[in-house]
């Protein structure tokens, strides 16, 4: 299954990104200012190697980092210790197939292409359950794959499992499974939230045909 595959990927030292992505950086600073001097609490969903967790902690946030992969969480803890951030970063294992969180409230949630790797049913359940863990005015920064992502066509949609799988080529082949959304489906997924921004980013190499990689960039608020 895909979640066990991520444990293998992280155990091999792959996908352990070091640097935060610009979408997260710019929006974190933009919304952090609205909280004034309060120390904000951040939930990093599917934190991987902790690139966003550590960035937020270095900028004064208290961070709760979750991932299914214990290898990923070990990397986060080690990196936090090396940077003197161990007191600001807490890690825990989380499973999108049976999602639950401790009784903590968050001001910012980061989901960069994490929940998009589970089924549509699981994704809806995650965001429904997450809502009660948010403080009023909390911000969700999410990225999801678009159905315009051409590498989707290397796989097939499994209706029973509600996810794309069996990729024969492309960037998802080694990741085993992923989900893709159109605008109506994104709107439904975040129906409990107020959508502050919904952008579609297309990345197409014009000198060589490598397809078009499309990703939704979502800012939602409780």
| 134-171: pLDDT as tens digits | 999 999 999 999 999 999 999 999 999 999 999 999 99
Cα–Cα dist 152/185, whole Å: 16
Going by their DSSP bridges, the two strands 106-112 and 41-45 should be labelled as parallel
How many domains in the chain? 1
Query: What CATH number is given to the structural domain containing 50?
Result: 3.40.50.150
| 119-128: pLDDT as tens digits | 999 999 999 9
| 187-222: pLDDT as tens digits | 999 999 999 999 999 998 888 888 899 999 999 999
Cα–Cα dist 204/208, whole Å: 9
Q: Is 201 helix (H, G, I), strand (E, B) or coil?
A: strand
Prediction pTM value: 0.94
Cα–Cα dist 178/187, whole Å: 19
The domain in which residue 64 lies consists of 2-221
Q: Which phi and psi (to 5°) does residue 153 adopt?
A: -75, -5
């Amino acid at each position: 299954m895909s979640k066990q595959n991520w444990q293998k990927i992280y155990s091999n030292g792959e996908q352990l990104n070091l640097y935060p992505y610009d979408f997260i950086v710019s929006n974190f600073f933009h919304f952090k200012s609205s909280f004034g001097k309060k120390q904000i609490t951040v939930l990093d969903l599917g934190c991987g190697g902790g690139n966003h967790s550590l960035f937020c902690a270095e900028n004064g946030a208290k961070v709760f980092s979750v991932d299914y992969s214990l290898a990923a969480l070990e990397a986060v803890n080690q990196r936090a210790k090396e940077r003197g951030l161990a007191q600001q970063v807490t890690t825990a294992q989380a499973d999108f197939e049976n999602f639950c969180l401790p009784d903590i409230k968050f001001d910012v949630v980061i989901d960069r292409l994490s929940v998009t790797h589970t089924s549509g049913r699981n994704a809806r359940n995650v965001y429904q359950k997450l809502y009660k863990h948010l403080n009023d005015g909390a911000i969700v920064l999410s990225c999801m794959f678009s159905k315009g992502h051409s590498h989707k066509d290397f796989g097939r949609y499994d209706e029973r499992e509600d996810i794309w799988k069996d990729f024969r080529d492309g960037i998802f082949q080694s990741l085993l499974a992923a989900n893709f959304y159109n605008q109506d489906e994104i709107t439904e997924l975040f129906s409990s939230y107020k959508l502050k921004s919904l952008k579609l980013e297309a990345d197409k190499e014009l000198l060589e045909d490598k397809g078009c990689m499309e990703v939704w960039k979502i800012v939602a608020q409780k």
